[in-house]
């Protein structure tokens, strides 16, 4: 999916998602739809559907963006050096489609010490019971 043309992403994503996922923008703090979500389930990439995070690792960091202490599985994220805005950060991107998700910081809770600070519009939340409901 990394080789899809930008025209594909412009058609598939909302304008806000396109700005964040494809142009590396950041949504405003405390306004994202998943900042206060406490339901059990999984968070997947809004662009390609790859499961990235679980509610088990979500916590309130006070940063204004959904924060996770770990990934749902190894190998679902790419790490990239980010020197924008005159500072150094580590960008996180979806391994499958290359979309920008947010950044990871080393100030998270134990045991990982990591805080994946992710834009809400880069995610789709699937409640834990949604799969069960569709099978019955």
Selection from 115, 124, 121 nearest residue 25 by Cα: 121
Residue 27 in this model has a pLDDT that exceeds 80 = yes
Residue 35 in this model has a pLDDT that exceeds 60 = yes
Q: What is the pLDDT of residues 71-118, one digit of tens each?
A: 999 999 999 999 998 999 999 999 999 999 999 999 999 999 999 999
Active-site annotation holds for 45: no
pLDDT, mean of residues 3-29 = 95
Percent of the chain with pLDDT over 70: 95
In the prediction, which pLDDT does 1 show? 82
Q: Largest Cα–Cα distance in the chain?
A: 53
Assessment of whether the complete model's pTM goes beyond 0.85: yes
Answer yes or no: CATH 3.30.1330.40 is held by domain 6-135: no
Contact 6, 22 (CB under 8 A): yes
Percent of the chain with pLDDT over 90: 91
Marked catalytic residue, from 45, 94, 117, 121 = 117
Q: Indicate the average pLDDT of the chain.
A: 94
Residue 134 in this model has a pLDDT that exceeds 50 = no
User: Residue 35: CB partners within 8 Å, gap ≥ 6?
Assistant: 64, 65, 66, 120
Residue 24 in this model has a pLDDT that exceeds 50 = yes
Q: For residues 18 and 99, give the distance between their C-alpha atoms in angstroms, rounded to a whole number.
A: 9
Q: Domain map of the chain by residue range?
A: 6-135
């Amino acid at each position: 999916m990394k080789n899809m043309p930008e025209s594909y992403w412009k058609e598939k994503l909302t304008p806000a998602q396109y700005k964040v996922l494809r142009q590396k923008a950041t949504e405003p703090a405390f306004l994202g739809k998943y900042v206060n979500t406490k339901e059990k389930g999984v968070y997947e990439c809004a662009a390609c559907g790859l499961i990235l995070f679980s509610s088990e690792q979500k916590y309130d960091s006070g940063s204004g963006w959904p924060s996770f202490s770990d990934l749902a599985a190894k190998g679902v994220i790419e790490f990239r050096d980010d020197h924008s805005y005159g500072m150094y950060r580590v960008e996180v991107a979806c391994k499958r489609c290359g979309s920008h998700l947010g950044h990871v910081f080393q100030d998270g809770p134990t045991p990982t010490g990591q805080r994946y600070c992710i834009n809400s519009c880069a995610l789709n939340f699937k409640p834990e019971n949604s799969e069960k409901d569709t099978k019955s």
